[in-house]
Structure 1
């Protein structure tokens, strides 16, 4: 069987093995965004604005370290390939440092400093796992459609990981008594998920195609110049990063939305089930949409669904609870498609560039992509934290949310719904200049014409 003429289909074992890395990426991408801000404000007693900044700054470091990690993996030569050693080393380091974030050694200012340092170390470890991991699909297959099949497996497991880590992690925290002890137990639980993901990806991709060795640009500066010259990549990464910030702002607000809008702290689990369960069911449908109408149209449709749904959720204070959960389910449908198409368009851009330039530098592209995505995921909690600060949210050191004013509850609602919806929708403007089709991605035909986008 082939998905593109002359391109063999990857064995299911390799597709599934690669997808298990989503246990690590999904856990790290979900839990800090969900629980780190409440941990800082409602357990360590850190002011909301400062707490958002503490979540942002360590991940902003990725803007520097991710391209470096990509260049290192481009230049790595081992019997395990260029990327797989980083799945093992980076993944295990990520697990250890993640558990340290929630160790609760100090409170107040010292606790904030501890979180900042350990989160910086965790972000560095994540860079050396995530960048090589994201680079692999462009080298494992030359098939335009086959890359979508790979991403279907990966995003499906990513959605499942979001469910497990996002719904179960708060339950583990609460079962361990909440507060410092609860967060310690939760940190260990998530660290175990990360270990499983890194080991699964490392061993599951054994024997996978690793692509032929290509000459890369001689310096990081030259490689980044090539990245800047790839217009499809440039506009795609700008859109995806902006949308990551919007989605992360909503993720950061889940606990606050449950506490101060739904007035049910146990609703966190139900909210995650409401998002992820539909996402798992509709993944094959989104794949068919992409095959029939193209990835770009699928991406735009999924993003617009997120925008419309989140704006409608702005009425949550007056909507019946079943209607809120129905909207959350629609949000999950949109998020599944947005992730699937964005992640499957990335290796298309990389493959196009490899065939256009004749140089192997997937690691640099994925380094820039991951740096941007991680920055967007960190910017989201900062946006939400600023909304809390602006509307007068009160912090606590009890391990439980303090009673809030009507104004603060309005800030929670707007930060969880309207603000993310507007960000996700406006980000689509970047894609007006994306015109990479299947033929260009697969065959590397004539370079795209036109000047760089003024927006970038």
Structure 2
């Protein structure tokens, strides 16, 4: 059924949103524990750990536009993007468990190689699902406010996933006295939950008649040409993507740094669970509020306000240099309330961008846009984690193998705090500069659906 007239019922909302249980889990848990696992269990140097994560994310950047283009091709020739989503949903739990199944007999260099191969498999499987998943809202509904509703409930589930995996993952890890066993237990349980969420959402991909005869897949170069063409012709896409990537760097840096703050600033590894509860509980409550606020003032204004609140809250965490303590949970909670808007609103704006482009370039390019978007988000999160490890290396962070006892210098602790406060705040403020050129409004989007419908009827 055409997205212009397809009802956005509760079943559609629920099946789409449940996919974020998986995507949120995979986006959260590796970002939270992978670098720490490498440096404090496997004995990998901080800089090398950061490079490993960066290589995996660069691989994402390489393959995401290709997957997006192939997804568009699959839609044209089979009528659905479901095949890609299903392959990713089945493969991701397997590679996720392997990432944290490094044999104890391996030295740090061999352990790093094991993790690199397994995590590359994770990244590929995740992209196979995530790229078409991100593009689906443009096909599920063409209405401006319906997209806000769709993505708001997706972010509600996303925040639940972040809380579940961010708080529950470390708890599972701590069930064994052997850190290696604890990490493996965490990975197996988390992988099953992630896979289940992804599999449910594969059913939401529309099954429509093919719109083109089967043809050989385009060469790889065509995928990148299509991605560059989308960036070149769509000013709203460039501006929104630029903002979102910079914010991904900021949040990626804070996510990777949370465990270090808990261990070396708050002096409790278990405090990372409280940090996540403080961050996500307000986000869970505020996601629907940001959706309602966006309906009143527009998505772009609500997005800018949520970003500003987040930046102020992050900057206030600089106070840990003077008085580290439980007060930090208050600004973290404020940041969590803002984070709900920073996640749901740009994702609700993306299908508007795709619809605006379809008015001049035709339908069927959602996969290309979502491939570039996912690549940008992945690159941003990777740079965030890599930036953290650079700060740790420069400030003299001492890595360790499981069971060893080390003490960090004051300079290293200062580096951890700066990477959790000032640097993310500056990145968020900088991200608002490209957003000033975003010009799509409700009136622009709600006139597109009837135009597209008339064009289809005429053809």
Q: What's the TM-score once normalised by structure 2's chain length?
A: 0.91
C-alpha offsets along residues 72-110 of structure 1, whole Å, 9 cap, x if unaligned? Answer: 111115998422222221111111111111111234000
Secondary structure at the aligned position of 2:436 is classed as helix
Say if 1:364 and 1:427 are closer, same or farther in 2 by CA, change over 3 A. Answer: same
- Contact 1:23/1:158 (<8 A) preserved: yes
C-alpha offsets along residues 138-169 of structure 1, whole Å, 9 cap, x if unaligned? Answer: 01111111011000110000000000011100
Please point out which of 18, 21, 36 is paired with 1:20.
18
- Contact 1:42/1:401 (<8 A) preserved: no
Question: Residue 455 of structure 2 aligns with which residue?
Answer: none
- Contact 2:64/2:131 (<8 A) preserved: yes
Question: Residue 32 of structure 1 aligns with which residue?
Answer: 30
Instruction: State whether structure 2 residue 240 is matched by structure 1 residue 236.
Output: yes
Instruction: State whether structure 2 residue 303 is matched by structure 1 residue 305.
Output: no
Question: Residue 94 of structure 1 aligns with which residue?
Answer: 92
Question: Residue 83 of structure 2 aligns with which residue?
Answer: 85
Say if 1:417 and 1:214 are closer, same or farther in 2 by CA, change over 3 A. Answer: farther
- Contact 2:167/2:272 (<8 A) preserved: yes
Question: Residue 434 of structure 1 aligns with which residue?
Answer: 438
Say if 1:160 and 1:316 are closer, same or farther in 2 by CA, change over 3 A. Answer: same
Question: Residue 297 of structure 2 aligns with which residue?
Answer: 293
- Contact 1:244/1:373 (<8 A) preserved: yes
Return the offset for 1:231.
Answer: 0.6
Secondary structure at the aligned position of 1:54 is classed as helix
C-alpha offsets along residues 226-265 of structure 1, whole Å, 9 cap, x if unaligned? Answer: 3321110111111101110110000001110001111122
Question: Residue 158 of structure 1 aligns with which residue?
Answer: 158
Distance in 2, Cα, partners of 1:80 & 1:190: 32
C-alpha offsets along residues 92-131 of structure 1, whole Å, 9 cap, x if unaligned? Answer: 1111111111111234000111111111111111111100
Return the offset for 1:421.
Answer: 1.2
Question: Residue 223 of structure 1 aligns with which residue?
Answer: 226
Secondary structure at the aligned position of 2:399 is classed as coil
Instruction: State whether structure 2 residue 106 is matched by structure 1 residue 103.
Output: no
Distance in 2, Cα, partners of 1:209 & 1:118: 32
Instruction: State whether structure 2 residue 375 is matched by structure 1 residue 386.
Output: no
Question: Residue 191 of structure 1 aligns with which residue?
Answer: 191
Question: Residue 72 of structure 1 aligns with which residue?
Answer: 70
Distance in 2, Cα, partners of 1:214 & 1:352: 23
Say if 1:212 and 1:286 are closer, same or farther in 2 by CA, change over 3 A. Answer: farther
Say if 1:79 and 1:444 are closer, same or farther in 2 by CA, change over 3 A. Answer: closer
Please point out which of 337, 343, 354 is paired with 2:347.
343
Return the offset for 1:213.
Answer: 4.4
Question: Residue 52 of structure 1 aligns with which residue?
Answer: 50
RMSD between superposed Cα atoms in Å: 2.3
Distance in 1, Cα, partners of 2:224 & 2:177: 50
- Contact 1:247/1:424 (<8 A) preserved: no
Distance in 2, Cα, partners of 1:252 & 1:400: 21
Q: Which runs of 5+ in 2 are unaligned?
A: 450-459
Distance in 2, Cα, partners of 1:213 & 1:147: 24
Question: Residue 42 of structure 1 aligns with which residue?
Answer: 40
Return the offset for 1:180.
Answer: 1.0
Secondary structure at the aligned position of 1:425 is classed as helix
Say if 1:313 and 1:70 are closer, same or farther in 2 by CA, change over 3 A. Answer: same
Say if 1:51 and 1:222 are closer, same or farther in 2 by CA, change over 3 A. Answer: closer
Deviates more, 1:181-190 or 1:365-374: 181-190
Deviates more, 1:340-349 or 1:70-79: 70-79
Say if 1:431 and 1:401 are closer, same or farther in 2 by CA, change over 3 A. Answer: farther
Return the offset for 1:359.
Answer: 3.4
Q: What's the TM-score once normalised by structure 1's chain length?
A: 0.91
C-alpha offsets along residues 332-380 of structure 1, whole Å, 9 cap, x if unaligned? Answer: 0111110011110111101111122123110000000001101111111
- Contact 2:77/2:212 (<8 A) preserved: no
Secondary structure at the aligned position of 1:394 is classed as coil
Distance in 2, Cα, partners of 1:276 & 1:329: 8
Distance in 2, Cα, partners of 1:10 & 1:357: 25
Return the offset for 1:212.
Answer: 8.8
Q: Which runs of 5+ in 1 are unaligned?
A: 446-456
Return the offset for 1:401.
Answer: 6.7
Say if 1:150 and 1:214 are closer, same or farther in 2 by CA, change over 3 A. Answer: farther
Question: Residue 175 of structure 1 aligns with which residue?
Answer: 175
Question: Residue 457 of structure 2 aligns with which residue?
Answer: none
Say if 1:374 and 1:211 are closer, same or farther in 2 by CA, change over 3 A. Answer: farther
- Contact 1:140/1:211 (<8 A) preserved: no
